Amino acid sequence: MEKKTNGKLIVGIVIAVLVAAAVITVLAVTGSFIGKDAAEQIAFKDAGVTPSFCKDDLEFDDGHYQYEIEFYVDGIEYEYIILAKDGTLRYRNSKGASGQHGEIIRHTQPQETAPPVQDATESSAAAPETVQPSSEQPPTTQQPSTNAAAGLSMEDAKAKALEDAGLTADAVTFTESKEDMDNGVQVYELVFRTADTEYDYEIAVADGSIRKRETEKLDANELGTPSQETIDHAKTIALSGAGLMDRQNDVVFTEENWETEGGKLIFDFEFYLDDMEYEYKVSEFGEVLESESHPKGH
């Protein structure tokens, strides 16, 4: 009976030591971090905004402690990743009505060691092991390099994809263009389409190699409802054709319709200004297909 009691006591002591060691390790590692407030200020300064609300979390990912920060300003969502050790900007992304652009920023800092998480029920009979705090080397002071200097730029990637597809920029609409990581490789993900085909490319930032290419034929149903940005662009083409851009705020649109013809979106607009009425048919690619103007009531 006395042996069982002593055994339970030893187990309890071992567990307490392990828990205390883990707590000490966490404090030792996080005590040198810049803090959430400082990380937020770095993100706000880079974005050039001052949000009223911000969400942030400390995470351990890809060998580094980092602050993941999200905030909204004027309908735009911002996402930032800031290295906790020294405030290096690792990732930025903004997303709003006009789409999104993300950027993964390279760095050459050594990986950090996450504090071990040990189940209290494991190795309960083993002798306690002293857990040493992370021995991270001080990071080298450097400015984050840009993608244009370190590898292929986004515009170069688009040009490469278009060349591979045998297309020109004025014949396509890009629906997605962002930078991402795929199995540890930094890539550009590009999606664009013509009147009847969608193209999906993945291009390596480092050397410009094409890691993925896919094409898909689209039917009229897959084209779906146009985005507000696409509609506004078509309106701008119509107003420019009518010579009314300098008074666009005074123009009144009385009809806005769209349909698919030959696999592409066609917009029909009717609008007036003062005593003149206008009718325009514009393609999603900015072509004026038909136009007519006449005095109101005729």
Q: Tens of pLDDT along 23-66?
A: 555 555 557 788 888 988 998 888 888 876 677 888 887 677 88
Mean pLDDT for 123-150 is 41
Q: What is the pLDDT of residue 135?
A: 43
pTM value is: 0.34
Same domain (yes/no): 93, 15: yes
Q: Give per-residue burial for 13-31: e unless 16+ CB within 10 Å, then b.
A: ebeeebeebeeebeeebee
Q: What are phi and psi of 196, to 5 degrees?
A: -135, 5
The least confident of 16-25, 63-72, 87-96, 215-224 is 16-25
Among candidate residues 290, 287, 266, the one with its CA nearest the CA of residue 278: 290
Determine the Cα–Cα distance for residues 274 and 119; give it in Å rounded to an integer. Answer: 78
Same domain (yes/no): 155, 283: no
Among candidate residues 203, 218, 233, the one where a domain is terminated: 218
Mean pLDDT for 205-224 is 80
Among candidate residues 113, 143, 173, the one where a domain is terminated: 143
Instruction: Give the Å distances, CA to CA, from 280 to 206, 214, 242, 276.
Output: 46, 35, 9, 13
> Are the C-beta atoms of residues 232 and 194 closer than 8 Å to each other?
no
> Are the C-beta atoms of residues 97 and 229 closer than 8 Å to each other?
yes
Evaluate if residue 139 carries a pLDDT over 90. no
Phi-psi label, residue 49: left if phi above 0, alpha if psi -120 to 50, beta otherwise: beta
Most confident option among 108-112, 190-194, 228-232? 190-194
Same domain (yes/no): 51, 168: no
Same domain (yes/no): 168, 259: no
Residue type, 20: A
Q: What is the pLDDT of residue 209?
A: 93
Q: Does an H or E element contain 6, and which? A: helix 2-30
Q: What percent of the chain has pLDDT over 90?
A: 20
Determine the Cα–Cα distance for residues 213 and 223; give it in Å rounded to an integer. Answer: 20
Tens-digit pLDDT profile for residues 176-195: 888 888 888 899 999 888 87
Evaluate if residue 89 carries a pLDDT over 60. yes
Same domain (yes/no): 255, 268: yes
Residue 210 confidence class, pLDDT cut points 50, 70, 90 = very high
In terms of pLDDT, which residue wins out, 38 or 151? 38
Q: What is the CATH number of the domain that holds 74?
A: 3.10.450.40
Residue 158 confidence class, pLDDT cut points 50, 70, 90 = very high
> First CA to last CA across the chain, in angstroms?
108
Task: Indicate the number of domains in the chain.
Answer: 3
Q: What is the pLDDT of residue 204?
A: 93
Among candidate residues 143, 161, 188, the one where a domain is terminated: 143
Residue type, 1: M
The least confident of 90-94, 159-163, 244-248, 250-254 is 90-94
| Average pLDDT over the chain, rounded to an integer | 75
Residue written as tokens 């187990």? 11
Q: What is the pLDDT of residue 46?
A: 86
Same domain (yes/no): 21, 131: yes
Q: Does an H or E element contain 98, and which? A: none
Domain that holds residue 174: 148-218
